[in-house]
Homo-oligomer: A and B are copies of this chain.
Amino acid sequence: MPNVSSPSLVQPLGVLRLESGADLEVEAAYEIYGRISPAGDNAVLVCHALTGSARAAGEQGWWDPLIGPGAAIDTNRYAVICSNILASCYGTTGPRSVDPATGRSYGGRFPTVTVGDMVAVQHALVQKLGVRSLACVTGGSLGGLQVLEWAARYPEMARSIMPVATNLAHAAWTIAFNECARQAIRNDPGYLDGDYIHRGTTPHRGLALARMIAMISYRSAQSFGERFGRQVTPPGEEDSGRFEVESYLHYQGGKLVERFDANAYMRITEAMDAYDVGGARGGAQAALAPFRGPALVMGIDSDILYPVWQQQEIVEVLKANGNAVSYREIHSEHGHDAFLMEWAQLDRHIREFMAALPA
């Protein structure tokens, strides 16, 4: 059964009460690889990062090498579900969606959401799909925050977890990068406090700069050095910068502008920064105590955005709670983005972990 790349499916979920108290009518876009068992107990939920989509596998799938028949997450055995997160712009309800109260896009009026809200949407979705419990919940970066929230919020449903390159609570450092990105968007005169859709302007320069800043945080000095060094741009292309690394950043910024929404970028990064698994639960250890399953925690040695000591904190909390937890470090020069690149290492560690899961 090859991975088939097709438009995401969409599931209406009715009105959801958000953590803020607001009510929001929600539909979720999702993809599914493999078949859900009649008992509803063989699903693996894969959670995507900031600008990702439900397209986890198949053509251009962001974790495609790890998902499929015979792959580390074996679709012959598991049904892999990935849904676009709340407040994004790939099919799940977000700032570009039409507000039924006005008949127009929410735009800047889209409510504040939390990682808890994102996970509540996933929970409603998988229940609709006939899932009774999840064999595993996994994801990297913001995806990893969702994994931890699953363990805290629905410990009876998540039988195991694999958080990757993430932290128990967004740290000052990760908040700082996000705030610079948001300020780049706010500074764009086309942003208009989020009202650009209705007023016909575009905060493209701001969103592109936000992405440029983020791209630095996703990589490492070494990977930039080896890839670009001090190569200069070819004659005639200096508009995008004198050095190749500058052209690369501008190119990446431009690419995101074509595929992402500035209000979605604002809402999702705000949710990330607000995230603290133990914040309203008496601390991380108490928050995760109800989760009794095994965990594989992965970090990346060159990750400057979510440094490995933050994953070691997750390990310590789970150990203190008595979970069966293992830690595997990805060795890479690529920085944070290695969770989307180091396939051989990810494959090995995930395979080892999933092979040991109870049937």
Contact = CB atoms under 8 A, between A and B. Distances in A.
Interface residues of A, number: 48
Contacts of A183: 209, 212, 250
A94 to B, nearest CB: 21
Looking at A206, A213, A221, the one whose CB has the most chain B CB atoms below 10 A away is A221
A88 B222 CA distance: 30
Interface string A206-250: 100100110110001110110111100000000001111110011
B172 A230 contact: yes
Nearest to A213: B180
Interface string A261-279: 0000000000001101001
B171 A225 contact: yes
Contacts of A242: 273-274
A64 interface: no
This chain's copy number in the assembly: 2
B169 A187 contact: no
B184 A249 contact: no
A197 B188 CA distance: 21
A246 B184 contact: no
A347 interface: no
A179 interface: yes
A9 interface: no
Given A175-B243, A189-B189, 13 more contacts: A171-B224, A172-B224, A172-B230, A174-B221, A175-B230, A176-B215, A177-B216, A180-B209, A180-B249, A184-B187, A221-B304, A222-B309, A242-B274
10 contacts: A171-B224, A171-B225, A171-B229, A173-B245, A174-B221, A180-B212, A183-B212, A187-B206, A213-B213, A230-B279
